[in-house]
Structure 1
């Protein structure tokens, strides 16, 4: 009997140990962020996520240090060194995302959206991207004016029954949420095969916008923005075309820099102004490498647009994706036109990059996407689908059928959630870096495998987001000149800090 008891106690010990260590399983459902705590009596609030899920956006607190903070691992904030002002962080709320959210029970859906978008009770996501018409993650292929004649413009079933109800629920949770709209294609009756032959191209994919319809298409944008306004949904910004150098998506339109320049200068910009709309316009909305090698000759796409002073007046800046090239392009474009903004609007995880394996993706995506874009002048960062189902859908033929969502929901119950890297990397920014924050300078400790960024919020707090991709715990001290504190940053983890000045 004693021997049996010994075996049982040993087995119990192993079970407890394995639970404490977490799991690297690529498809293990995540528990999700810890519930919000009452206001902490301590000075510093932290959020911690480890690549092995042993800490799952865990909330911690610290007190300011009382002893000398001289340490070789001290990072000092330099609030007088100021970079870009931040607009927000978030994900795409596609038709597919909305379909999956509406399959959840109302209680579960509200809980998830609160966890994601609430500034007080959750991660505080502050920016989302939606499509103008369909995308490759829509329930059908459509625009808001498929019958020829701009007088036939109308919001369609996907907006009215899926997207708008979800947006309204998000706005109830976070009334200051910013929304960016991007079209995947213009109406097919506005398309031509090329700008030389000008032959009609009745196709969802490829083709160019017929210059004869510049004014009608500009009116299309105005009507779309106004239709959402009528629903109580303000559109912060638009891009004239999603991936203008990609002719092969499930819905797509080619739009070279000179076309976008002329369309915005001669039609879209003036139409928005005449309608009294202050919606921002961001150029490009595609890859760092401008699809180099395909013979398009589109390098420096936004800079070429800005060379026309009349066109440049209507563009607030440029938007980028990371499916090609290097994020260093952001710094290069900023150096050429520091007066124009930069935002990052799309990146995906999927079967091609071990997308559900948090032990791999948390580190890479935090370095390359979250901190990599912010530290190269982006003032907003958005990832692709917020929620897809466990079969990577719903999706469209010709679009991405190998993408995962920032969160995947089990299609058998529409309840069980797997939170992937993109959910966490945005949350680690949005939880502590609030709209209006300014990225500020730092000096002191640097090391291979340690990446960070510092911010000053408008409410009198500092924020600091740090990635430790090494396999060792790093004891790092932060100092703002008046206060300092030290925390043992876990191996292969992300830590976000926020504290009052």
Structure 2
């Protein structure tokens, strides 16, 4: 009997040890998480770790039936309401469209659905395109290179690449918003400065000749109308990409006084006359105004001078200089005006393909950093570049990576970089029309987050854990609560029905 009992005891220990070992293996293969059925539960979750051990992994969890006593609780406060969100996305440049068109139809459709579909993918919802060329185009051009506004016409880059890709995107997600920004006016509209007013036949630098302000406003109207004739509605425009940057391969200097005159007395009246609903966002440049003292508070100076608030919705910003705190300063000076974030880049200079670094920094500074400072849209630079960082233009950025990079040898293999994940973590759970809401409670160092209420009655939270240790976080909306362990150095997005 003793021998039999001993054998049974050894067998029991063996079974227990095997069970525990299997659980540890499963836990390790899931990045430290217990395996969870991805579709089962009250809360949909997406997780990306900076090591890609979880690569935008879809998970789920359920509400807890127990009382919430957790000291690490983020409590939602829907009564405290901030900005209404327009969406999140990337720039669909000529280079992006060219690369997408090199893919097979099947592979391109798969990628675009993964990116833009609100039901089958990330649901990215706001994109930016160039009015004419950018430094990521196949050539330098505008839509009116022959003098005379009557010569306005689309070019082959629009008709063969940009418009076909936009139509494919809109078929997948008809609600995608599109912003247009020019890098330069037609060269025949340029002068060397506003004193000499000498012709300036260059793609780079120069200023807009006041004699052509009306023609250039007509250029915008014609561009919007011709896209709408193609079934592509233009939601918003900026008068000039980086108006304080004279050095881009295609560029135009436009100080705040010039922009005031052009927008107030020409662009706005022509938009109204053409019955366009397209919004105008001023500035579209860096937080630090390129250290030009007379250009500080660029959009504020225009607001203060008096400009139509129904057409000029607000201002757009980039982060190539200065600090995101400038957004809060501008909001406080004119809280009735909107803010959008329209460009940021990764490249060889900031370890752009190193997700271990970039996922954390870009989520903190770009995604959550701009949203928590009142931006209602977040758009990063090129959606897709090739493995040689192109196609690009001489004199423009030749060291930039895309949100994704595609191997130009086969146009099949795609590397997803930080910008793709940070936009996806927002767009997957925060839908257009959502309102950012307040939170209280948990606020440990290294954690950054934002909460939202969607129009369909769901809540969304996007959270960054930049620390080297995982932590069990509880979310509580006042009716339901749940807990989930947030992995070290990860981004996690949650969405659930009230």
State TM-score, norm by structure 1. 0.92
Q: Is 1:413 matched up with 2:417?
A: no
Identify the residue that residue 129 of structure 2 maps to in structure 1.
130
Identify the residue that residue 61 of structure 1 maps to in structure 2.
60
Identify the residue that residue 459 of structure 1 maps to in structure 2.
456
Identify the residue that residue 349 of structure 1 maps to in structure 2.
346
The residue correspondences of 1:241-390 to structure 2 (distance < 5 A) are 241-292=240-291, 295=292, 297-310=294-307, 314-390=311-387
Q: Is 1:483 matched up with 2:477?
A: no
- CA distance 1:361–1:126, shift in 2 (3 Å): same
* Per-residue deviation, 1:196: 0.8
Identify the residue that residue 117 of structure 1 maps to in structure 2.
116
Please state whether the residue corresponding to 2:425 is helix, strand or coil: helix
* Per-residue deviation, 1:307: 1.1
State TM-score, norm by structure 2. 0.93
Please state whether the residue corresponding to 1:217 is helix, strand or coil: helix
Q: Is 1:395 matched up with 2:392?
A: yes
The structure 1 residue matched to 2:491, chosen from 470, 490, 494, is: 494
Q: Is 1:153 matched up with 2:161?
A: no
The structure 1 residue matched to 2:432, chosen from 432, 435, 447, is: 435
Q: Is 1:404 matched up with 2:409?
A: no
Task: State the structure with more CA Rg.
Answer: 2
Root-mean-square deviation over aligned CA pairs: 1.5
For the Cα contact (< 8 Å) 1:262–1:311, is it kept in 2? no
Q: Distance between the aligned counterparts of 1:20 and 1:205, measured in 2?
A: 52
Please state whether the residue corresponding to 1:90 is helix, strand or coil: strand
* Per-residue deviation, 1:70: 1.5
Q: Distance between the aligned counterparts of 1:431 and 1:493, measured in 2?
A: 16
Q: Distance between the aligned counterparts of 2:196 and 2:173, measured in 1?
A: 49
Cα deviations by residue, 1:125-154 (Å, 9 ceiling, x for unpaired): 000000000000000000000000000000
* Per-residue deviation, 1:314: 3.7
Q: Is 1:227 matched up with 2:226?
A: yes
Please state whether the residue corresponding to 1:316 is helix, strand or coil: strand
Gaps of 5+ in 1: 1-15, 23-36
For the Cα contact (< 8 Å) 1:241–1:255, is it kept in 2? yes
* Per-residue deviation, 1:312: 5.0
Q: Distance between the aligned counterparts of 2:161 and 2:220, measured in 1?
A: 20
Q: Is 1:173 matched up with 2:172?
A: yes
For the Cα contact (< 8 Å) 2:127–2:176, is it kept in 1? yes
Give runs of ≥4 in structure 1 deviating > 3 Å: 19-22, 310-314
The residue correspondences of 1:73-92 to structure 2 (distance < 5 A) are 73-92=72-91
Cα deviations by residue, 1:317-362 (Å, 9 ceiling, x for unpaired): 0000000000000000000000000000000000000000000000
Please state whether the residue corresponding to 1:291 is helix, strand or coil: helix
* Per-residue deviation, 1:71: 1.4
Identify the residue that residue 186 of structure 2 maps to in structure 1.
187
Q: Distance between the aligned counterparts of 2:119 and 2:136, measured in 1?
A: 30
Identify the residue that residue 105 of structure 1 maps to in structure 2.
104
